Amino acid sequence: MKQKNYSFYKISFWFLFCILVLSTFPTLKNHTRKYEKLNHIEELYGLILNNYQDSISEDSLILFLRDGLLNNLDPHTFYISEEELKRVNEDFSGDFYGIGVQFSIIRDTVMVIKVIDDGPSDRAHILAGDRIILVDGQKFTGEDMNNTVVMNTLRGKRGEKVELTIFRKNKELKKTLYRGAIPLNSLEASYLIANNIGYLKLEKFSATTYDEFKEAISDLKKKGAKKLILDLRNNGGGYLNQAVDVTNEFLEGNLEIVSTEGEHRKKTIHYSNNKGVFKNGDLVVLIDEGSASASEILAGAIQDHDRGYIIGNKSFGKGLVQEQIPLIDGSALRMTVSKYYTPSGRCIQKPYHLSDTIVSAEEFKTKGGRIVFSEGGITPDYVVISDTMSDFESNFWNKNYNVLYEKAFDFADNNRVQLENNYKIFLHNSRDIIWLEMIRLSGDDISKEKMLEFKNNFITLFENMVLSHILLTDDLIYYYNKDDEYLKKALEILLI
């Protein structure tokens, strides 16, 4: 009896196994069909490698094939080499390990522009204006110097020792540092711009953006902010989840923030949770043509729910979601996997190529019934027309930019104490000196006469360059904002 039962179970097992195999056969067959055309690529690869009239390496041929494949997809799908990947990941992780300086390369020499408070360089008493001439005994000047070389050399592992030789006021000084964590803040500025109006500027949406935002908004509320200007100009985006979390702080509960869907990705809808800390205060969001992706998700949700006003210029128009997929050789593929849609259903992706046209500017409605469009970007509720350079100003500035940048650094370096003490008074008293320096670059008398028409503009631009070598980022933004047309419009609306 036991033998009979055993035989029965054995036969049953193999019967079910056969059914399972046969049921998956179409899938296996389809999987094989999906990739069978790769034989064509393999054939071409072998023919070119073994028959092309010039010598061509396998690495080069793989590069050609990879670039040819990716260049025919959307512009936001691209390959990231192993070396580039490290820098990309650092930029959005919120910190990296380095020596804690902002630098600029002037006349083939690395100049320290700013020293980060309580960083390795600050503790080693390195100062703004110092020239780094040797790193670990190796020459660190010359025509080969560029930003990539500098960052790859000065960044490294946590606690790693680095020996610097710096040049300061005709003296060489040796400094020993140990690399430490250097924050890469996405919050560039936060302050009260009026009695009860806070101002907050986000440069990107990195892994730490939401935490930075929560801390800043809490501080502004403690100072009396009941209204807010959120500046997303030139914010190129970043992590989707960070944009969702920040947007959530402005919305009542159970409201759609954004949805995503792709050919191989199921539709996902993100909703607000009613736990936001700024659900009721008046809100203005500033955008421009540099506001993209995650910035547009936030602006789109605010606009579609009639939660606040969008002010500025039409945004970039990036309605695609990417995933970064690691490859076996340590590199990565950043690939578009889905599109995102604002709460009203808009996909605001613009055409990939200049020759493409938008098929239709489809109408959508906000929560309050206002008509908005899906036409390659978020169109503001209030468009701000900023003053632009004349052709003469633009040509002069572009032609002389490198020289002016060096002159601005020299001016800042030679007058650092006076500028740090009171830059407003010192710059005001130096306007004639600055003007003479700029006139010397004008060339002929006709150009000098033409320059007089734009004297104040030229001096202001040069002063901005000088202050970029003196002020920390938040102080610099505060200075720039004093004459900002976008902010004037925002304040006009919020002060009504």
Q: Is residue 304 annotated as part of the catalytic site, yes or no?
A: yes
Calpha distance 443→456 (Å, rounded): 19
Query: Quick one: pLDDT band at residue 18, thresholds 50, 70, 90?
Result: very low
> Per CATH, is 187-383 categorized as 3.90.280.10?
no
Residue-by-residue DSSP string for 250-318: TS-TT-EEEEEEETTEEEEEEE--S--S-SSS-EEEEE-TT--THHHHHHHHHHHTT-SEEEES-----
Q: What is the mean pLDDT of residues 357-375?
A: 80
**Amino acid occupying residue 457:** N
What band does 13 get if pLDDT is binned at 50, 70 and 90? very low
CA distances from 416 to 57, 158, 408, 474 (A): 54, 32, 12, 18
The per-residue pLDDT for range 99-123, each reduced to its tens digit, is 999 999 999 999 999 998 889 999 9
The CATH-assigned architecture of domain 95-183 is Roll (2.30)
More confident call, 39 vs 266: 266
What lies within 8 Å, CB to CB, of 40 at 6+ separation is none
Is 318 noted as a catalytic residue in this protein?
A: yes
Does residue 298 surpass a pLDDT of 80? yes
Task: State the Cα–Cα distance between residues 274 and 272, nearest whole angstrom.
Answer: 6
**Domain spans of the chain, in order of start:** 37-72, 95-183, 187-383, 391-494
> Strand, helix or coil at 108?
coil
Q: What letter does residue 380 receive in the DSSP assignment?
A: P
Catalytic residue among 114, 227, 318, 407: 318
Residue 445 has pLDDT above 80, yes or no: no
pLDDT digits (tens, 9 = 90+) for 200-255: 999 999 999 999 999 999 999 999 999 999 999 999 999 999 999 999 999 999 99
Is the model's pLDDT at 190 over the cut of 80? yes
Q: Of 439, 459, 460, which Cα lies nearest the Cα of 449? A: 439
Query: How confident is the model over 454-481, as a mean pLDDT?
Result: 93
CB 165 within 8 A of CB 130: no
**Ranked by mean pLDDT, which of 69-78, 194-203, 342-351 comes out on top?**
194-203
Residue 33: the pLDDT is 61
Kindly tell me if the per-residue pLDDT of 478 is higher than 90.
Answer: yes
The average confidence (pLDDT) of the chain is 89
Q: Which of 259, 291, 293, 430 is catalytic?
A: 293
Q: Is the dihedral of CA 123, 127, 128, 130 positive or negative?
A: negative
pTM recorded for the entire structure: 0.87
Answer whether 95-183 and 187-383 agree in fold. Answer: no
Per-residue pLDDT at 356 exceeds 60: no
DSSP letter for each residue of 413-459 = HHTHHHHHHHHHHHHHHTHHHHHHHHHTTS-SHHHHHHHGGGHHHHH
**Active-site pick, 245, 282, 304, 381:** 304
